[in-house]
Amino acid sequence: EDKVVQSPLSLVVHEGDTVTLNCSYEVTNFRSLLWYKQEKKAPTFLFMLTSSGIEKKSGRLSSILDKKELFSILNITATQTGDSAVYLCAVGGNYGGSQGNLIFGKGTKLSVKP
């Protein structure tokens, strides 16, 4: 059965700390791994990773994929209170005609204290 597992499920840090969020997966015919940030309701897109070993960066956030070990990490440096959110990992594979399907993990709830 295809699955995406995120760890930790929740994390409390102080402003300025660096955090690493983990995502491991078992998916048939892997195509891409995506990270989303969900603050209140609408998840917002962060990164899409398709190739191993190539780091993607956006400001203080970065992510990398390891297709051999089947996992990805999301790093946030110099955390701010505005980084408090649930971070969702999702993986897309080939599912017959419905190639747009994403399988989501449960998310990591990050709380950044002042």
Partner 1 sequence: ETGVTQTPRHLVMGMTNKKSLKCEQHLGHNAMYWYKQSAKKPLELMFVYSLEERVENNSVPSRFSPECPNSSHLFLHLHTLQPEDSALYLCASSYSAANYGYTFGSGTRLTVV
Q: Where in 27-46 is the site for partner 1 (CB under 8 A)? A: 31-32, 34, 36, 40-45
- Residues between 93 and 112 that touch partner 1 (CB under 8 A): 95, 97-107
Stretch that binds partner 1, among 11-19, 20-28, 71-79, 92-100 (CB under 8 A): 92-100
Tell me: does residue 61 bind partner 1 (CB under 8 A). no
Distance CA 114, CA 100 (A): 39
Q: How far is the CB of 83 from partner 1 (least distance, A)?
A: 19
Distances in whole angstroms, Cα of residue 51 to Cα of each of 34, 55, 94, 107:
12, 9, 16, 22
Task: Report the greatest alpha carbon distance in the chain.
Answer: 47
Under 8 Å between Cβ of 21 and 37: no
Task: Using CB under 8 A, list all residues that contact partner 1.
Answer: 4, 31-32, 34, 36, 40-45, 48, 88, 90, 92, 95, 97-107
